[in-house]
C-alpha cells in the first residue's frame, strides 16, 4: 500500500481507511474553496456555471459521493454526512449569492432604463413616433372614409377569434375547398371534432359576413385588423400580420367591375402618389367572382399588393342578402406589404421587435421622395432632380446627369430658372436631420418662404441670420425630412464638397429682385415643367463661379441690383 498516493482521492480512497486520515479535511477544504468562489461570483451566469461544476452530474462534489460505494459501512455513514454537509453549505451559498447578484443586476438595469420625469420639454425625452404600421392602416382607412366608407374596428364586429363558419364556410370555402389549404390556420379546438370549430382568423374577409348579417344595404365598410397564419417566419412572412378589408354593397347593378377598379386605383394613388403604376390581373378567390389581383410597379418589378372582386352571389345569399336585389365588391390587402413599400422596409420582422432605432426613423422615405423610391432610386436622387437645397445631393446630381442625359436639353437656357434676392430672417434646426437648417427667407413676396438647406456643417444659425442670399425660386415645393421646402439657397461648392459658400448678391439688391443673364430673356418655367423636362440637370451644371468668384452661366454673368453676384467667394467652382 502506497501511503504517498493518498492525495489522489478518487483513485486510492478505497484502499485506505480514509476518514482517519486527511480525506475529511480535504473535503471540507474543497467546500470552503467552493464557497469562497461563490462569494466572489459577480453574475448569475457565473453562479450557474459554478453550480454545474460543483453539484452538476459531473461536478466535483457529486463525484465525491460516488466514492462511497467503496467504503465500509461505518465509514460510509460518516463520509456521507460530511459530503452532504459540504453540499448543503454550497447549495445555501449558491442560493444566497444568486439572490444578491440578481438584485444587483436588476438595480443596474433599472438605473440604465431610468426616466427622469422631471426633465422639461417633450422632445428632450425622445417621445415615441408613430409606428409605420399604424400610420399605414390609418392612412388606408382614412382614404376609404373619405369615399364614404364606415370603419369597423370594434372587437364584437371584427373578432380575432372566429368560427370556421365566418372565416371559411360563409365565404364560400366548404371544408374540402382548396383555399383552406392555402391558409394554414391556428385552430383553437379540433377542426375535425363534432363541435363548431374556432380559430384565430386568417383574414379580415370574415368581417364581411358579420357586416352583411348586421347591416341593411346599401353600405360600405372598411375594416382594418390583425390576422394569423401558420407560416414559416422569414423576411416577408410573420405568424401575425394585419389586413385592411373593404366591402361595398348597393342595389344590384349599381356597382360594376369598373367601379371596383376605379376605387382600387384611386386608393393606390392616394396611398403611393399619383405616379404609381397599377396593373390588374384575373385571379381566383372563393368569395368573389370575378376576382382580381392588383400589382404596383415597385423598384423595377410588379409587386402584388391587393386582392379584390365582385362579391359572389352565394356569399350574399348565405349572409341573408338577396343577390337578385343587391350586388357589390370587396377587396383586402396586407398592411405590412403596404408599409414595407411606403417606408422602404425590407424585413417584416422589423415591425414587431420594438427596436427604438428602427422606430426612430419615421417619418421616412414617404416624406422625402416617394416617386424616386418607387422607381428604385435613392431619395437623394429625387432631391437632386427637384433641385433641392441639401448640399449632399449635389454629388448625386452630377452622377444622375451622366446616367440619364436630359432629352430636351438643346433649347433650355438659364432664363427658365428663376433666382431671386432674399434675406434670411429666421433660422432653426430641422427636427429630423442634423444636416439641415430650416430658414425663413423674405423674398419680397406676400409671405416669407421656408427653405431647408444642408448648411449645418458650414454655417452657424447666427452666420445665416440676416444674410442676403440668392434663392432658386421657381422650384416645385417639396418636403425635406417632412418639412416643405420652397426653393433652394444658392451656394458655390468645391468638387469634394469640403467647402460650401453662400452666393451673395450685391448690397444694393432688394429682396424679391430677380437676377438676370444678358442675352437670355425667356420666361421662367413652372416648377412642374422644371421637373418634367429635367431642367435642373440640363441647365445647372453650367452655372459656375468664374476666376473672380462671380456667378456665370456659360460665361455670362449673373446680375442683379447694380452689379454682379457672388464675387469674393469660391472661384472657378460649381454653383447649385
Binding-site residue total for ligand DAH (CB under 6 A)? 11
Nearer to ligand DAH, 284 or 302 (CB): 284
Stretch near ligand DAH under the rule CB under 6 A, chosen from 326-334, 429-437, 471-479, 549-557: 326-334
**CB 142 to ligand DAH: min, Å:** 19
Q: Which of 56, 139, 160, 196 is nearest to 333 (CA)?
A: 139
Nearer to ligand DAH, 334 or 369 (CB): 334
**CB 184 to ligand DAH: min, Å:** 12
**CB 106 to ligand DAH: min, Å:** 44
**CB 212 to ligand DAH: min, Å:** 12
* CB 476, CB 386: distance < 8 Å: yes
Query: How does 483-509 read in b/e, with b if 16+ C-beta sit within 10 Å?
Result: bebbbbbbbbbeeeeeebbbbbbbeeb
**CB 282 to ligand DAH: min, Å:** 12
Stretch near ligand DAH under the rule CB under 6 A, chosen from 90-98, 156-164, 191-199, 328-336: 328-336
Nearer to ligand DAH, 271 or 509 (CB): 271
Helix (H) or strand (E) holding 480: strand 478-480
**CB 241 to ligand DAH: min, Å:** 10
Nearer to ligand DAH, 332 or 566 (CB): 332
Distances (CA, A) of 516 to 142, 467, 473, 503, 521: 47, 21, 13, 15, 8
**CB 334 to ligand DAH: min, Å:** 8
Per-residue binding letters, 239-278, with ligand DAH (x by CB under 6 A): ------x---------------------------------
- Cα 385 to Cα 376: distance, rounded to the nearest angstrom: 14
**CB 153 to ligand DAH: min, Å:** 17
Nearer to ligand DAH, 224 or 387 (CB): 224
Of the residues 330, 441, 488, 570, which one makes contact with ligand DAH according to CB under 6 A: 330
* CB 337, CB 359: distance < 8 Å: no
**CB 205 to ligand DAH: min, Å:** 4
Nearer to ligand DAH, 41 or 308 (CB): 308
- Cα 209 to Cα 108: distance, rounded to the nearest angstrom: 53
- Going edge to edge, which strands form the sheet with 150-151? 150-151, 219-228, 240-251, 326-334, 301-311, 288-298, 278-285
- Cα 359 to Cα 128: distance, rounded to the nearest angstrom: 8
Partner residues linked to 517 by β-bridges: 520, 558
Nearer to ligand DAH, 331 or 480 (CB): 331
Q: Does 332 bind ligand DAH (CB under 6 A)?
A: yes
**CB 324 to ligand DAH: min, Å:** 21
- Cα 71 to Cα 13: distance, rounded to the nearest angstrom: 8
- Cα 511 to Cα 561: distance, rounded to the nearest angstrom: 10
Nearer to ligand DAH, 209 or 308 (CB): 308
**CB 189 to ligand DAH: min, Å:** 22
Per-residue binding letters, 486-525, with ligand DAH (x by CB under 6 A): ----------------------------------------
Per-residue binding letters, 179-218, with ligand DAH (x by CB under 6 A): ------------------------x-x-------------
Nearer to ligand DAH, 38 or 247 (CB): 247
Which residues make Cβ contacts (< 8 Å) with residue 376, sequence separation at least 6? 298, 299, 300
Longest Cα–Cα distance of the chain, Å, equals 119
**CB 197 to ligand DAH: min, Å:** 18
Q: Does 537 bind ligand DAH (CB under 6 A)?
A: no
Nearer to ligand DAH, 334 or 448 (CB): 334
Q: Which of 522, 517, 525 is nearest to 554 (CA)?
A: 517
Nearer to ligand DAH, 141 or 574 (CB): 141
**CB 536 to ligand DAH: min, Å:** 43
Nearer to ligand DAH, 331 or 470 (CB): 331
Residues in 283-322 at the binding interface with ligand DAH, rule: CB under 6 A: 285, 288, 307-309
Stretch near ligand DAH under the rule CB under 6 A, chosen from 38-46, 56-64, 329-337, 387-395: 329-337
Per-residue binding letters, 119-148, with ligand DAH (x by CB under 6 A): ------------------------------
Of the residues 16, 34, 152, 331, which one makes contact with ligand DAH according to CB under 6 A: 331
DSSP annotation of 228 reads E
All cell numbers assigned to 55: 453539484
Nearer to ligand DAH, 181 or 434 (CB): 181
Q: Which of 344, 382, 349 is nearest to 363 (CA)?
A: 344
Partner residues linked to 161 by β-bridges: 200
Per the listing, cell 404596383 goes with 296
Please enumerate, as own/partner, the contacts of 548-551 that have beta carbons within 8 Å and a separation of 24 or more. 549/492, 551/470, 551/490, 551/492, 551/503, 551/575
**CB 309 to ligand DAH: min, Å:** 4
* CB 475, CB 487: distance < 8 Å: yes
Q: Does 471 bind ligand DAH (CB under 6 A)?
A: no
**CB 187 to ligand DAH: min, Å:** 17
Q: How far apart are the first and last CA of the chain?
A: 98
Report the phi/psi class of residue 320: left, alpha or beta, with left for phi > 0 and alpha for psi in -120 to 50: left
- Cα 564 to Cα 505: distance, rounded to the nearest angstrom: 7
* CB 286, CB 172: distance < 8 Å: yes
How many CB atoms sit inside 10 A of residue 26's CB? 15
Nearer to ligand DAH, 203 or 318 (CB): 203
Helix (H) or strand (E) holding 10: helix 9-12
Q: Given the rule CB under 6 A, which residues bind ligand DAH? A: 203, 205, 245, 285, 288, 307-309, 330-332
Amino acid at each position: 500500500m502506497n501511503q504517498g498516493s493518498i492525495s489522489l482521492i478518487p483513485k486510492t480512497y478505497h484502499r485506505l481507511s480514509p476518514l482517519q486520515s486527511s480525506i475529511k479535511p480535504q473535503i471540507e477544504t474543497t467546500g470552503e474553496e467552493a464557497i469562497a468562489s461563490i462569494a466572489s461570483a459577480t453574475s448569475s451566469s457565473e453562479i450557474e456555471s459554478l453550480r454545474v461544476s460543483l453539484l452538476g452530474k459531473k461536478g466535483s462534489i457529486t463525484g465525491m459521493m460516488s466514492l462511497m460505494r467503496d467504503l465500509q459501512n461505518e465509514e460510509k455513514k460518516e463520509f456521507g454526512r460530511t459530503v452532504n454537509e459540504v453540499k448543503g453549505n454550497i447549495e445555501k451559498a449558491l442560493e444566497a449569492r444568486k439572490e444578491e447578484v440578481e438584485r444587483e443586476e436588476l438595480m443596474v438595469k433599472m438605473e440604465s432604463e431610468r426616466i427622469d420625469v422631471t426633465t422639461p420639454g417633450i422632445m428632450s425625452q425622445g417621445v415615441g413616433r408613430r409606428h409605420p404600421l399604424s400610420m399605414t392602416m390609418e392612412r388606408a382607412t382614412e382614404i376609404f372614409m373619405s369615399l364614404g366608407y364606415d370603419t369597423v374596428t370594434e372587437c364584437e364586429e371584427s373578432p380575432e377569434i372566429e368560427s370556421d363558419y365566418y372565416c371559411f364556410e360563409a365565404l364560400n370555402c366548404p371544408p374540402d375547398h382548396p383555399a383552406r389549404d392555402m391558409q394554414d390556420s391556428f385552430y383553437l379546438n379540433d377542426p375535425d371534432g363534432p363541435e363548431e370549430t374556432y380559430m384565430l382568423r386568417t383574414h379580415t374577409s370574415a368581417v364581411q359576413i358579420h357586416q352583411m348579417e348586421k347591416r341593411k344595404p346599401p353600405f360600405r365598410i372598411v375594416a382594418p385588423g390583425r390576422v394569423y397564419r401558420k407560416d414559416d417566419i422569414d423576411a416577408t412572412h410573420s405568424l401575425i400580420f394585419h389586413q385592411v378589408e373593404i366591402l361595398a354593397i348597393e342595389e344590384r347593378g349599381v356597382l360594376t367591375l369598373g367601379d371596383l377598379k376605379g376605387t382600387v386605383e384611386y386608393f393606390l394613388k392616394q396611398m403611393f402618389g399619383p405616379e404609381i403604376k397599377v396593373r390588374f390581373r384575373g385571379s381566383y378567390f372563393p368569395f368573389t367572382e370575378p376576382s382580381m389581383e392588383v400589382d404596383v410597379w415597385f423598384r423595377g418589378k410588379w409587386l402584388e399588393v391587393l386582392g379584390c372582386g365582385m362579391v359572389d352571389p352565394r356569399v350574399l345569399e348565405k349572409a341573408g342578402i338577396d343577390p337578385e336585389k343587391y350586388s357589390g365588391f370587396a377587396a383586402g390587402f396586407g398592411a405590412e406589404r403596404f408599409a414595407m413599400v411606403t417606408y422602404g422596409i425590407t424585413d417584416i420582422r422589423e415591425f414587431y421587435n420594438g427596436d427604438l432605432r428602427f422606430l426612430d426613423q419615421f417619418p421616412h422615405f414617404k416624406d422625402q421622395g416617394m416617386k424616386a423610391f418607387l422607381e428604385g432610386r435613392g431619395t437623394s436622387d429625387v432631391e437632386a432632380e427637384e433641385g433641392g437645397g441639401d448640399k449632399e445631393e449635389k454629388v448625386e446630381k452630377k452622377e444622375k446627369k451622366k446616367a440619364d442625359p436630359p432629352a430636351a436639353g438643346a433649347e433650355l437656357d438659364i432664363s427658365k430658372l428663376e433666382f431671386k434676392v432674399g434675406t434670411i430672417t429666421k433660422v432653426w434646426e430641422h427636427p429630423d436631420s442634423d444636416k439641415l437648417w430650416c430658414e425663413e427667407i423674405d423674398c419680397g413676396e406676400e409671405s416669407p418662404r421656408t427653405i431647408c438647406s444642408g448648411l449645418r456643417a458650414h454655417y452657424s444659425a447666427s452666420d445665416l441670420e440676416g444674410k442676403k442670399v440668392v434663392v432658386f425660386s421657381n422650384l416645385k415645393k417639396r418636403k425635406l425630412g417632412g418639412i416643405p421646402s420652397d426653393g433652394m439657397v444658392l451656394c458655390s461648392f468645391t468638387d469634394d464638397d469640403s467647402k460650401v459658400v453662400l452666393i451673395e448678391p450685391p448690397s444694393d439688391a432688394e429682396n424679391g429682385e430677380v437676377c438676370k443673364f444678358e442675352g437670355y430673356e425667356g420666361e421662367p418655367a413652372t416648377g412642374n415643367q422644371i421637373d418634367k423636362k429635367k431642367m435642373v440637370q440640363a441647365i445647372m451644371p453650367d452655372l459656375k463661379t468664374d476666376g473672380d468668384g462671380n456667378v456665370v452661366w456659360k460665361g455670362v454673368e449673373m446680375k442683379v441690383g447694380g452689379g454682379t453676384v457672388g464675387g469674393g467667394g469660391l472661384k472657378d467652382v460649381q454653383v447649385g
